[in-house]
Amino acid sequence: EAGVTQFPSHSVIEKGQTVTLRCDPISGHDNLYWYRRVMGKEIKFLLHFVKESKQDESGMPNNRFLAERTGGTYSTLKVQPAELEDSGVYFCASSQEGRLAKEFFGPGTRLTVL
Partner 1 sequence: AQSVTQPDIHITVSEGASLELRCNYSYGATPYLFWYVQSPGQGLQLLLKYFSGDTLVQGIKGFEAEFKRSQSSFNLRKPSVHWSDAAEYFCAVEKNTGFQKLVFGTGTRLLVSP
Q: Which is nearer to partner 1, 79 or 93 (CB)?
A: 93
Q: Which is nearer to partner 1, 17 or 55 (CB)?
A: 55
Q: Which is nearer to partner 1, 31 or 75 (CB)?
A: 31
Least distance (Å) from partner 1 to the CB of residue 19?
20
- Closest C-alpha to 109, from 3, 16, 22: 22
Q: Which is nearer to partner 1, 11 or 82 (CB)?
A: 11
Least distance (Å) from partner 1 to the CB of residue 101?
5
Query: Which amino acid is present at 28?
Result: G
Q: What's CA 35's distance to the chain center, in Å?
A: 6
Strand residues in the chain grouped as ranges (E): 5-7, 10-13, 19-24, 31-37, 43-50, 53-56, 65-68, 75-79, 88-95, 104-105, 109-113
- Residue 94 β-bridge partners: 32, 104
Give the interface with partner 1 as residue ranges (CB under 8 A). Answer: 3-4, 31, 33, 35, 40-45, 48, 50, 55-56, 59, 91, 93, 98-101, 103-108
Least distance (Å) from partner 1 to the CB of residue 107?
4
